[in-house]
């Protein structure tokens, strides 16, 4: 171990409280950035869960529609048959879709309402924990969390699309921070929306061995007025909705996390240096150059930032585990890119923080060691 490292470690380790405050401060500041990134990544995950789990290989929407969240997509009914006739398509299921408020008692909640044809091979709930996975006329499948909050169960009535439906199934994994997913009969949806001969999306199964991308382009080329995307592409478009629309908020938080982290590390390194003035004086009296002392200070900053980064990462990971257990639909997803970004932040912070006490170190008079009364 180099002398600088040893001195830096001893300097830091001497006061436990100071070390804890410094590491804790850095950890929290970095968590600020990490957890915000994780929140948005979590929201993006939740947002795409219906697209990812509905079972379709290709999604067909009204031309120009490349998203699901809160948007409208309305195509003439004939699109389903036209899609079914395209090479490589083995199954095409139309769904109706709207963002609506579902109500039960005093509980009201925003939901993607999906109108599902009888016996639909895709587009339905992927995990039914109670009751049926099929909806008939006058029936609805709602998320288990909504039912629990509203205090309703199988057989109870729910307000949806301006009408009423009876719960026949409870699904899991269908709730996000923003909304849940509810499933009603296709014909009910259509009746409540004025019987217009339209569909929202057509979900497609492609033939075994066929590529979803090429079938999607084939559909776009053959069927007029539609946009067709493979599940992966559609899901990526939906993720971009979150990243594009939250980009500004995230960059603001990044700046804030960075500044707070910098302030905390600068303060602790400065304070630590100040407190070790006598020792630095001894070192100088023994002939150590300023360069060596700088290195000690820089190492101290690097050590506390590294420890802070580790703790911050652990804290955010813990938060990611704990938050979903609180019953809120908030999900935190830690990504490699965001960890790398914050690690870079930490490195820059350590470098900048070490600059501050340099004058202090350079200004130490070797004679200080011979004076009495300077507390260590």
Partner 1 sequence: MLIARRNLLRDRTRFLLSVLGVAVSVGLILLLAGYRSGVYRQSSAYLDNTPGSVVVAERGIRDFLGTSSVLPGGAEDAVRATAGVERVIPVVSQFVIFERHGRKDGFFLIGYDPRFGGGPWKLVEGREPTADDELVMDRTAARQHDIVIGDQLELLDRDATVVGLSDETTFWAGSVAFARITALESLLRSPGLRSFLLVAPEPGISPETVRRAIDVPGTEVLLKGDVVANDAALMARVYDAPIGLMVAIAFVVGVLVVGLVIYTATIERRREYGALKAIGARNRTLYRVVTAQAAIAATGGAIVGVGLAYGAGAALMAWRPQFLVSIETSMVVVVLASSLLMAVLAALVPARSVATLEPAEVFRG
| Binding string, residues 186-215; x marks residues near partner 1 by CB under 8 A | ------xxx-x-x-----------------
Please give the residues from 261 up to 320 whose contact with partner 1 meets the rule CB under 8 A: 263-264, 266-268, 270-271, 274-275, 319
Closest CA to 116 of 101, 99, 137, 85: 137
Please state, in angstroms and as integers, the Cα–Cα distance from residue 345 to each residue in 18, 30, 56, 353, 355, following that order.
22, 8, 41, 12, 16
Beta carbon nearer to partner 1, 46 or 212: 46
Minimum distance, C-beta of residue 28 to partner 1, in the bound complex (Å): 5
Interface region with partner 1, contact rule CB under 8 A, candidates 45-53, 98-106, 114-122, 134-142: 98-106
What is d(CA 59, CA 204) in angstroms, rounded to the nearest whole number? 6
Interface region with partner 1, contact rule CB under 8 A, candidates 83-91, 153-161, 212-220, 339-347: 153-161
What is d(CA 84, CA 218) in angstroms, rounded to the nearest whole number? 12
Beta carbon nearer to partner 1, 114 or 206: 114
What is d(CA 229, CA 179) in angstroms, rounded to the nearest whole number? 24
Minimum distance, C-beta of residue 366 to partner 1, in the bound complex (Å): 21
Minimum distance, C-beta of residue 210 to partner 1, in the bound complex (Å): 26
Helix (H) or strand (E) holding 181: strand 180-185
* Residue in this structure with the two tokens 């992927």, named with its chain if needed: 126
Beta carbon nearer to partner 1, 208 or 244: 244
- Counting contacts by CB under 8 A, is residue 351 touching partner 1? no
Minimum distance, C-beta of residue 1 to partner 1, in the bound complex (Å): 27
By CB under 8 A, name the one of 37, 100, 139, 279 that touches partner 1: 100
By CB under 8 A, name the one of 106, 248, 325, 336 that touches partner 1: 248
* Residue in this structure with the two tokens 């929306």, named with its chain if needed: 193
- Counting contacts by CB under 8 A, is residue 31 touching partner 1? yes
Minimum distance, C-beta of residue 43 to partner 1, in the bound complex (Å): 9
Interface region with partner 1, contact rule CB under 8 A, candidates 51-59, 93-101, 119-127, 214-222: 93-101
Minimum distance, C-beta of residue 231 to partner 1, in the bound complex (Å): 18
H-helix segments, the chain: 3-13, 16-47, 49-53, 79-84, 144-150, 186-192, 212-222, 231-275, 277-285, 290-322, 336-355, 358-362
What is d(CA 181, CA 360) in angstroms, rounded to the nearest whole number? 61
Is 29:255 a contact under the CB 8 Å cutoff? no
Half-sphere exposure of 283 (CA within 13 A, CB side): 20
- Counting contacts by CB under 8 A, is residue 65 touching partner 1? yes
Minimum distance, C-beta of residue 68 to partner 1, in the bound complex (Å): 10
Is 228:219 a contact under the CB 8 Å cutoff? yes
- Counting contacts by CB under 8 A, is residue 70 touching partner 1? yes
Beta carbon nearer to partner 1, 210 or 317: 317
Number of residues that bind partner 1 (CB under 8 A): 75
What is d(CA 221, CA 228) in angstroms, rounded to the nearest whole number? 9
By CB under 8 A, name the one of 252, 340, 344, 348 that touches partner 1: 252
């Amino acid at each position: 171990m180099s002398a600088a490292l040893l001195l830096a470690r001893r300097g830091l380790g001497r006061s436990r409280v100071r070390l804890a405050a410094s590491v804790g401060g850095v950890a929290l500041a970095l968590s600020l950035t990490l957890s915000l990134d994780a929140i948005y990544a979590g929201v993006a995950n939740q947002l795409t869960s219906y697209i990812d789990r509905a079972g379709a290989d290709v999604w067909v929407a009204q031309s120009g529609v490349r998203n699901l969240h809160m948007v409208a997509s309305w195509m003439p009914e004939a699109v389903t048959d036209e899609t079914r006739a395209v090479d490589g398509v083995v199954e095409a299921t139309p769904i109706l879709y709207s963002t609506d408020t579902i109500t039960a008692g005093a509980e009201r909640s925003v939901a993607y309402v999906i109108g599902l044809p009888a016996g639909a091979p895709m587009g339905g709930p992927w995990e039914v924990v109670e009751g049926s996975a099929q909806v008939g006329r006058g029936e609805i499948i709602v998320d288990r969390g909504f039912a629990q909050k509203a205090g309703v169960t199988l057989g109870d009535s729910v307000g949806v699309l301006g009408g009423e439906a009876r719960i026949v199934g409870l699904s899991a994994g269908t709730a996000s921070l923003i909304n849940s997913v509810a499933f009603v009969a296709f014909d009910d949806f259509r009746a409540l929306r004025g019987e217009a001969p339209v569909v929202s999306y057509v979900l497609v199964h492609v033939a075994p061995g066929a590529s979803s991308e090429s079938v999607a382009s084939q559909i776009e080329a053959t069927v007029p007025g539609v946009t067709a995307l493979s599940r992966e592409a559609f899901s990526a478009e939906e993720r971009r909705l979150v990243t594009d629309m939250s980009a500004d908020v995230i960059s603001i938080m990044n700046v804030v996390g960075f500044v707070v982290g910098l302030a905390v590390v600068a303060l602790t390194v400065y304070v630590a240096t100040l407190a070790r003035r006598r020792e630095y004086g001894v070192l100088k009296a023994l002939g150590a150059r300023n360069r060596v002392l700088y290195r000690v200070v820089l190492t101290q900053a690097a050590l506390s930032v590294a420890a802070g980064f580790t703790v911050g990462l652990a804290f955010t990971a813990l938060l990611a585990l704990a938050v979903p257990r609180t019953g809120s639909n908030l999900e935190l997803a830690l990504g490699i890119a965001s960890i790398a970004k914050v690690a870079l932040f930490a490195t820059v912070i350590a470098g900048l923080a070490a600059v501050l006490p340099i004058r202090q170190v350079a200004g130490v008079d070797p004679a200080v060691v011979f004076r009495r009364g300077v507390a260590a």
